[in-house]
Amino acid sequence: MGWRDRWTSERHTRPKLTKLSATELARLRDIATRFVSRSPVLSELVSKIDVQRQRFYVFDAGDYVMARITPLSGPTFLLEAPWRDGWSEAKRGAWRAVLGALEKDTQGSFHGLGSIASKGKSDSVQRKLHALGIPVRVLAEPREWYARHRTPSIVEIDKKSSRALVAFEAFGMFGSFGGTCLYARRDGGWGCYMIKPSASASIATAEAWLASRGWEAWR
């Protein structure tokens, strides 16, 4: 995989890795593991942190690489997100600073749910949905849309707070791109269901469409 600027697509010289001792690598991984376990977001999304060839790889529950952290010179580390056929820089800083950037990502580079971890006041869509009782792991299911920086907006929430229709949209020079999902509490648990565009006008139309196909989401 190569290394490039995500926004300009220009390739740059790969930052030089600084080799650390096995003891130091283990110490840093222990700190990261404790950080993840205490995070309301990462504790739900991260399955493990591995050290491979002097770099730290953060894996999600689906064994997908969510992030990579590389030791640079001095006390500086480089946090990167997978991007196309390479890696995109997200943050440089001290160990806890890059872990904090991973946790509080709101752009979708890693998960887009950082507002949930914020201690300040926020009326973000993610916080409103989380307040309904939707688990972080379910909120994160439209991962591809978050990764493409599509912004979520709540279309409708039913009176029982058991259904939430959410639209994801991004705007570019060639127009807008989007998709819609229905978060629904069924059989005692929450699920996330992608909705066919022609059935995404309301909770009623989305639910009727899902029911007609045995609650199989659109692909």
pLDDT at 85: 81
Write the pLDDT tens digit of every residue in 193-215: 999 999 999 999 999 999 999 99
3-state secondary structure the chain: CEEECCCCCCECCCCCCCCCCHHHHHHHHHHHHHHHHHCCCHHHHEEEEEEECCEEEEEECCCCEEEEEEECCCCCEEEEEEECCEEEEEEEECHHHHHHHHHCCCCCCCCCCHHHCCCCCCCCHHHHHHHCCCCHHHHCCCHHHHHCCCEEEEEEECCCCCEEEEEEEEEECCEEEEEEEEEEEECCEEEEEEECHHHCCCHHHHHHHHHHCCCCCCC
Write the pLDDT tens digit of every residue in 39-74: 999 999 999 999 999 999 999 988 899 999 999 988
